[in-house]
Amino acid sequence: MENCIELKNVTRSYNKFALKDVSFAVPTGSVMGFIGENGAGKSTTIKALLGLIRPDSGSITVLGEDAGKLSPETKEKIGVVFDSLTFPRELNAKQLDKVLSGIYKQWDSEKFFGYLTRFELPLNKKLKSFSRGMEMRVSIAAALSHDPQLLVLDEPTGGLDPVMRSEILDIFLEFMQDESHSILMSTHITSDLEHIADYITFIHKGEIVFTEERGEMLEKHRILKCTDEELAEIAKEDIIGMRKGRYSNEVLTASAEKYPHITADAPSIEEIMVYYVKDEK
């Protein structure tokens, strides 16, 4: 299977928001980082590809099946982590294991408790007593414990300290050692994607800005640090985003080679996103 997820011209309208012709694909065996500001459409897109909402038009396939008609066998192959806990909060981890073992045919209790130990999570405390970071860890443990081929992650490292975030990213990289595995990961912590993502899809106001290989995206974008005089030399079509300062200006461009006399710095994924979304052109 060339692509584990394919969205083609997907639209979905609400009163004050709409997905507009959203198209992108997640190649099998890859990690796709899904970025965008709050309200850009990331969660709506994820709900659509999981079959939780139906698009007004367009098509979505997940692991080769229509997202709105996923078979039970295919659903078993998808591990999902939302940005908030979806399990009954009156349960503790041991009770949750019993519930999930009755839902998933491939449920692996040994693996689940192994992750809970690795994450230093209590087994007998009710989930309602968990902090946000603990909630995310138990959700990740559950998602990884029924032999998934695809992980769909919505802010999976939210609420985690830097040490635990690093541990979680290592676990995702372990998961990706199997070439049939894939990850779609939506996150505001874009620095995480610089460690694990193969591709980046950027959505803004319900529209896809680009889908690119991470290394190529970072390589082609540059931040030019320029005076007012140098700024005047830069063609408007070469300016993606700009910040004007009292003494100097910063310009995001994909055409830095045209201006070799201007200092150019490599941007982070976060800086690229910010310049596309907020600029002073």
Q: What is the tens place of the pLDDT at every residue in 61-100?
A: 999 999 999 999 999 999 999 988 999 999 999 999 999 9
pLDDT band of 160, cuts 50, 70, 90 = confident
The 10s digit of each residue's pLDDT in 190-219 is 999 998 999 999 999 999 999 999 999 999
Same domain flag for 16 and 154:
yes
The 10s digit of each residue's pLDDT in 3-31 is 999 999 999 999 889 999 999 999 999 99
Q: Is 200 exposed, middle or buried (0-12, 13-18, 19+ CB in 10 A)?
A: buried
Same domain flag for 81 and 138:
yes
- For residue 223, pLDDT over 80 is answered with yes
Same domain flag for 250 and 159:
no
CATH number where 122 lies = 3.40.50.300
Same domain flag for 141 and 250:
no
Same domain flag for 225 and 123:
no
pLDDT band of 236, cuts 50, 70, 90 = very high
Same domain flag for 195 and 226:
no
Same domain flag for 107 and 241:
no
Picking from 164, 181, 214, the residue at the C-terminal end of a domain is 214
pLDDT of residue 89: 95
* Percent of the chain at pLDDT exceeding 70: 99
| Region of residue 240 (left: phi > 0; alpha: psi -120 to 50; beta: else) | alpha
Q: Is 140 exposed, middle or buried (0-12, 13-18, 19+ CB in 10 A)?
A: buried
Phi, psi of 98 (to 5 degrees): -65, -40
Same domain flag for 237 and 190:
no
In whole angstroms, give the CA distance from residue 233 to residue 214.
Answer: 29
- For residue 60, pLDDT over 50 is answered with yes
pLDDT of residue 280: 47
Same domain flag for 237 and 198:
no
Same domain flag for 187 and 58:
yes
Beta bridge partner(s), residue 264:
224
pLDDT of residue 1: 66
Instruction: Provide the number of structural domains found in the chain.
Output: 2
Range of the domain at 252: 221-277
Same domain flag for 82 and 150:
yes
Q: What is the DSSP letter of 245?
A: -
The 10s digit of each residue's pLDDT in 245-280 is 888 999 999 999 999 999 999 999 999 999 998 754
pLDDT of residue 158: 80
pLDDT of residue 119: 94
Same domain flag for 140 and 185:
yes
Picking from 175, 195, 214, the residue at the C-terminal end of a domain is 214
- For residue 55, pLDDT over 50 is answered with yes
- For residue 281, pLDDT over 80 is answered with no
Arithmetic mean of pLDDT, 123-141:
95
Pairing assessment for the beta strands 150-154 and 18-27 based on DSSP bridges: unpaired
